[in-house]
Structure formats: C-alpha cells, structure tokens
Amino acid sequence: MDTGLTGRTVLIPGSTSGLGLASARAFAAEGAHVVIAGRRAALATAEAEALASSPGSAVGLECDLTVTGAAERLVEQATHAYGPIDVLVLNSGGPPAGSAVDATPEAVESAMLTLLQQQIRLVRAVLPGMQQRAWGRIVAIGSSGIQQPLDNLALSNTGRAALAGYLKTLAGEVASSGVTVNMVLPGRIDTDRVAALDQTRADKTGASTSEVRRTAEAGIPVGRYGTPEEFAAAVVFLASAPASYITGEQLRVDGGLVRSF
C-alpha cells in the first residue's frame, strides 16, 4: 500500500522512547521527514541520527511540554527544519498512577496541562496551515482507559478522556477542509511505561512482576502484550492518504482487551 507519506513532515512530541519513538521510526520508513521531540535533547538527536539510513529523514528537538510556550516553540522549530507540518501525532508521557480518591486538585491540574492543554496548543499551532493546504492529519496516542477506565490510573483516565472529547468535536469541525482527526488507543503494549505500571502493581500486591504480567496476559484474548511496532503501524495508517475518509474515530490496538463494541 502506498501511504502517500513520502516527503510529508511529521511532528511527534514525546518521541524519544516508547510508542512515540516506534511511530517516528515507522513514519521514517515510509519516507517522511520526522521531527523527534523530547525533554532530553541529546537523546532526541541520537534517535534522529539513528534513522539516517531510513528512506525518510529525522531531526531531534528538545521540548518540555510542562513549560509555558513550549508547544508553540516546538511547532516553530519543526517548521523551520522541514517546512509546514502535515502530520501531528499527539503524544505525552503518562501521569503518576493513583486512585481517584487520592487525586488532589493540584495533581489533576498538572495532568490536564500535559494531557489536554498543551495538546490543544499544538493543534492550534498547526491547524491553520493544514486547512489552508487542504490536507492534514492529527493522530493522538491515547489509552484504552478512554473507553474502559483503568484501575489506579485516575489522572490518565481523566486527562485522556478530556482530550478525546475535544478531538471528537474538532474532527467534525475540520473534516470538510481535508484534515482528519483520529485517536489510537493502546492496550498493554510492551513499553517501559507498562513495565513501570506492572512494577507498581507488583509492589502493591506483593506479587512478582512476572506474575503480574502473566495475569495481565491471561486477560488479553490474543494472550500477550503488543509490540510498539504493531501499534505504530496503526498510527501510520490513520495518517496515510488511503485513510482520508476516516475521521473522528478511536482505533483500539489492544489484542481484544476491551470487550465493548
């Protein structure tokens, strides 16, 4: 399948590791110009350099989305590097695990800053150009917790659900201008973030991390954790030219974990 992504500029915040990095690698493999961004400048540069042999190209930029103005500066720097942004992959690290009972207003505010407010700022910075060119893709890396809230992840459930509401509304407003807006919802994908959550559960229950993982895998119809590469393939598809009639959707990549329709 020709994805139509050759030469397109793709911006992915939070892409120095995990699902963001896997997505960056997948876009570069399709010939796109990829902007890798993260809080550690040296790591962002190193990951970009590692893609030198791919069909596309990559540049690494420093960005800390907890800092005021960071979203707008990132878009400006990315545009300077490769030109107008064609694809924006919304991504951010997850907030600390914890219950809804223990969630303080301050913790909720911090989570909403990175999971919602800064994501909206990124969208607002790239959207006018996409609409003017009559082509654009906004793909958000969400969580299966949007559709089925996850235990002990109250802050993530709250912030990501709020973003989902915003993006669903946005999708209907910009569809006629050639811009699609979708979300990809990971289940248990084999990343450092999931490993850390498994460790947290192990510490809480007294089980070993291998026991926690086996229990989790038993609840997944496929019977295993997914790979970052499997997840990234879905992100690339929704950003591709053949997916131009898909918008306002949430695509689960969870091995059948969420049992709802």
Look at residue 261 in the predicted model and tell me its pLDDT.
Answer: 87
Residues of the chain with pLDDT > 90, as a percent, come to 98
H/E stretch holding 182 reads strand 179-186
For residue range 118-129, what is the model confidence (pLDDT) as tens digits?
999 999 999 999
- Name the residue type at position 87: V
Q: Are 85 and 79 in contact (CB under 8 A)?
A: yes
* Rounded CA separation 140/181 (Å): 8
Residue that has been written with the tokens 């040296």 in this structure: 42
pLDDT mean over 150-154: 93
* Rounded CA separation 197/212 (Å): 10
Compare 261 and 32 and report the one with higher pLDDT: 32
Residue 71: which region, alpha, beta or left (left: phi > 0; alpha: psi -120 to 50)? alpha
Residues of the chain with pLDDT > 70, as a percent, come to 100
For residue range 73-107, what is the model confidence (pLDDT) as tens digits?
999 999 999 999 999 999 998 899 999 999 999 99
Look at residue 93 in the predicted model and tell me its pLDDT.
Answer: 87
For residue range 173-211, what is the model confidence (pLDDT) as tens digits?
999 999 999 999 999 999 999 999 999 999 989 999 999
Share the mean pLDDT of the chain.
97
pLDDT mean over 40-69: 96
Look at residue 247 in the predicted model and tell me its pLDDT.
Answer: 98
Residue 241 predicted with pLDDT over 90: yes
